[in-house]
Amino acid sequence: MHSIGVTHGVQAASLTAPTRPTVSVIVPVYNGGEAFRRCLEALRSTDPAPYELIVVADGDTDGSRDVARRFDAQVLEFAQPNGPAVARNAGAAAASGEILFFIDADVAVRHDTIGQVAATFAADPSLTALIGSYDDAPGADDFLSQYKNLLHHFTHQTGRAETFTFWGACGAIRRAAFLASGGFDERYRKPSIEDIELGYRLSQAGNRLRLDKTLQVKHLKRWGALNLLRTDFFGRALPWTELIHRHGSMANDLNLGLSSRLSVVAVYTLGASLLVAARRPQVLAVAGVLAGALVALNMPVYRFFFRKRGLRFTLGVIPWHWLYFGYSGLAFLIGSYRAKRIFGRRTRTVQ
């Protein structure tokens, strides 16, 4: 058991219609800084307001818990960081709303977000969980942050409505279903794929999960090159590969779509052909064909970036996007080798 302290702010009155479920918002935070303040400001301005706002201060050292109290949140406190899985579970245990709505500390909701979540669940009693999408106007204006957050937006906007995964940055779930599932896997002690893992379990248990592309929030995170690479490789790709092997299936959707898998193969083949071309220049023609194939495979992505940010930005995206396929493929090979030793099962593709 984890020891936490609890302080109570003023619980926001529920302004939802009587027929709509109550929505408890849960925000885990570790040294949230200015983005966290903006997150709370956005939540305070929603109409209707959440039934309750629970902030889990996960061992923060920058005074985030004090900021939360100033916004009249109910604050749960950990003395040391335990990771977002533990923090979200603690918030869920303290919540009393019918819907648990998890929001990351660097996300800003829209004015009508709470009402949209409540209305969706009220209209569909068979729905277990709901996830949203980042919007197309990221909060940080540097190239890497725009690229990464816009790519996430595109991935969700082109995904299937009936989904297989959950998303802790903007994800809502019926409280009863969450508790019955056992919540987030607390073996994930750092930000990772604890939300995806929960989605896998929910889906395989027969629950309905929906991606609502109109449920959009703003991501305020500023990405640096090292942070982006470390997070994508160690925090996402490696553990996600092991999760795929553990469950024995790979969905043909979102980051796991067929075009992404073909792009990984094309990137490695392109790299090999360029190495050979250093001694056999005629192989450059093969490299050119492979580069063209990569562009063609990902043309919808590049058209999207061109519409949003223009040609110069899109040309800057391409090397980063190909690098993403490169390290994702490497992570899949390493993760598959490790998983094979543990699980020893074949992976099937789910359409």
Give 13-69 pLDDT, tens digit per residue: 444 444 899 999 999 999 999 999 999 999 999 999 999 999 999 999 999 999 999
Query: Rounded CA gap, 316 and 322, in Å?
Result: 11
Q: Tell me the pLDDT band of 347, cut-offs 50, 70 and 90.
A: very low
pLDDT for res 107: 98
**Which of these, 145, 138, 157, lies nearest to 301 by C-alpha position?**
157
Taking the alpha carbons at both ends of the chain, their separation in whole angstroms is 40
Whole-number Cα distances in Å, 284 to 145, 247, 287, 320, 345: 33, 41, 5, 21, 39
Domain chopping of the chain, boundaries: 4-223, 254-350
CATH of 4-223, one of 3.90.550.10, 3.30.1490.190, 3.40.50.170, 3.10.620.30: 3.90.550.10
| Burial of residue 184, with CB atoms counted within 10 A of its CB: 0-12 exposed, 13-18 middle, 19 or more buried | buried
Query: Rounded CA gap, 337 and 344, in Å?
Result: 9
Mean pLDDT of 156-166: 93
Query: Rounded CA gap, 321 and 270, in Å?
Result: 14
Residues 6+ apart with CB under 8 A from 101: 23, 24, 25, 26, 50, 114, 117, 171, 172
C-alpha angle with apex 351: 239 to 238, nearest 5 degrees?
10
One-letter amino acid for residue 288 of the chain: G
Radius of gyration for the alpha carbons in the chain, expressed in angstroms and rounded: 21
Give the side-chain half-sphere CA count within 13 A for 167.
24
| Burial of residue 256, with CB atoms counted within 10 A of its CB: 0-12 exposed, 13-18 middle, 19 or more buried | middle
Which has more pLDDT, 338 or 198? 198
Query: Rounded CA gap, 232 and 328, in Å?
Result: 8
- 27 bridge partner residues: 55
Percent of the chain with pLDDT over 70: 88
Q: Which of 70-79, 83-92, 253-262 has the lowest mean pLDDT?
A: 253-262
Residue 298: DSSP 8-state: T
Does the pTM exceed 0.75? yes
Mean pLDDT of 304-319: 97
Q: Which of 61-75, 93-107, 271-285 has the lowest mean pLDDT?
A: 271-285
The two three-digit tokens of residue 254, written as one number: 């979102």
Residue 68: CB atoms within 10 A of its CB come to 30
Residue 250: DSSP 8-state: E
Residue pair 166/199 in contact (Cβ under 8 Å)? The answer is: yes
